[in-house]
A and B are shown apart, each in its own frame.
Chain A
Amino acid sequence: MNEDWALYEVFIRARSGLEHKHVGSLHAADARMALEHARDTYTRRQEGVSIWVVRSSDIVASDPQEAEALFEPARDKVYRHPTFYSIPEDVKNI
């Protein structure tokens, strides 16, 4: 008989105004149990005000082998950054 519980990833919002951040994982038999385990494991020291849990197998992740193709093309698009443009110092509020 099956006694292995699924792996879940846990995301915690530390306080309102901040985004949920990945903090770790745990095992649970169902979604509500995962939420409770996340509370009992990852918020014992007031680390959070909101929890997301998601089954690890439901996460779609990019492949590190493709990292060059995915991320390097952005490298030479320096004109996306404000520091690319030179404006005379006398011009204010820009």
Chain B
Amino acid sequence: MYTQALDSPGVGHAALASADEAERERRFQERIDRDEKIEPKDWMPEAYRQTLIRQIAQHAHSEIVGMLPEGNWITRAPSLRRKAVLIAKVQDEGGHGLYLYSAAETLGVSRGELIGQLLAGRAKYSSIFNYPTLTWADIGAIGWLVDGAAIMNQIPLCRCSYGPYARAMVRICKEESFHQRQGYEIMLTLARSGTRAQREMAQDALNRWWWPSLMMFGPSDAESMHTAQSMRWRIKRFSNDELRQKFIDVTVPQARFLGLSIPDPDLRWDEAGQRYASGPIDWSEFQAVLKGEGPCNRERLGARRAAHESGRWVREAAAAYADKHGDRAGAGRPGYAQAS
């Protein structure tokens, strides 16, 4: 699962220090233009580094905050198969957060620092996770719509110019291929073969998740501040609006198959453009949720802080144990001699 296109204010173009610097930047851009990958110790413009750190960290934060809304239903999953699938999915999201923090760490920032920024409320994560999961159908809708939107965003990132980020994304996309399918399968069960109450549950979930899912692609191109530079650096390869349109075009027929209706009275097939035309997005809602006024912003950050705080003594204990016994002590410890 992932995040909207990331357009938070970042580092502007600092005045170039010298002609030497300009020359380095020119050669850097040439490498990018040749589609060469940039690796951690390579020279890179500071603005490129900062943009990547910001984007990868926001992506990582989105993964770990994203564990919460779905995690909300793990203990209440309605069958053992669904429970196992949901645990595996939420666990994958934790893994994806971990891969991404690791990629960010290659840029000279520690995971502890990044998590500190998140918990202090100074970092962004995808706003979609500030919406509540109210019924089991929300688990289906998230897999289908939110993961569907995420996949659309993420596949181009597998070709991102920064090697560690691109490699993390390849692993993430491979693992995520089941996420959307399991979500759609839940929707199929509820909407096509379910009881009346289950069908209503499915429609209600679509009603609540449709617009936030469209917002995941970020502000429209006209409003987006960083798209052009990010595209030049090949951190980003398609614009927000292009990806959003693609998502609508593939998702509308999927909703039809479910027998559910998309909550957009303006939605219609545009024969000339061979695409769906859709109604306007309420960007005031997007901005409000981004600013912390969504239904669950407080709960999500609160849960992350609580986990971090209540885990501190555990992390300290493990570090103290390693100090005491020498962390290379290896096979004999701790407790492993008899751990057969």
Contact = CB atoms under 8 A, between A and B. Distances in A.
A2 B105 contact: no
Contact of A2 (B111, B319, B329, B334): B319
B145 to A, nearest CB: 25
A4 B168 CA distance: 23
A23 B171 CA distance: 9
A7 B316 contact: no
Interface stretch (A25-33, A75-83, A85-93): A25-33
Contacts of B39: 64
A19 to B, nearest CB: 17
Interface string A1-19: 1111111000000000000
Interface residues of B, number: 34
Contacts of A41: 95, 98
Contacts of A65: 43
B333 A32 contact: yes
Contact of B102 (A5, A6, A26): A26
A24 B99 contact: yes
Interface centre among B99, B323, B336 (most CB of A within 10 A): B99
Most buried by A among B102, B168, B321, B336: B102
Nearest to B325: A30
A61 to B, nearest CB: 7
Contacts of B111: 27
A2 B316 contact: yes
Contacts of A29: 315, 318-319, 321-322, 327
A44 B105 contact: no
Contacts of A4: 110, 112, 315, 319
A30 B322 contact: yes
A31 B102 contact: no
A65 B25 CA distance: 15
Contacts of B285: none
Nearest to A47: B171
B316 A32 contact: no
Contact of B318 (A23, A25, A26, A30): A30
A56 B316 CA distance: 21
A7 B102 CA distance: 9
A55 to B, nearest CB: 9
A64 B40 CA distance: 9
Interface string B40-76: 0111000000000000000000000000000000000
A63 interface: yes
Interface string B303-330: 0000000001001101111110101111
Contacts of B41: 61, 63-64
Contacts of A2: 316, 319-320, 323
B264 interface: no
Which residue, of B91, B321, B327, has the highest number of chain A Cβ atoms within 10 A?
A: B327
A31 B105 CA distance: 20
B175 interface: yes
Given A3-B319, A4-B319, A32-B336, A64 B42 contact: yes
Nearest to B332: A32
Contact of B168 (A24, A33, A61, A63): A24
Interface of B: 39, 41-43, 91, 95, 98-99, 102, 105, 110-112, 168, 171, 175, 312, 315-316, 318-323, 325, 327-331, 333-334, 336
Given A3-B316, A29-B319, A61-B41, 14 more contacts: A3-B319, A4-B112, A6-B327, A24-B171, A29-B318, A29-B321, A29-B322, A30-B318, A30-B322, A30-B327, A30-B329, A31-B327, A44-B95, A64-B42
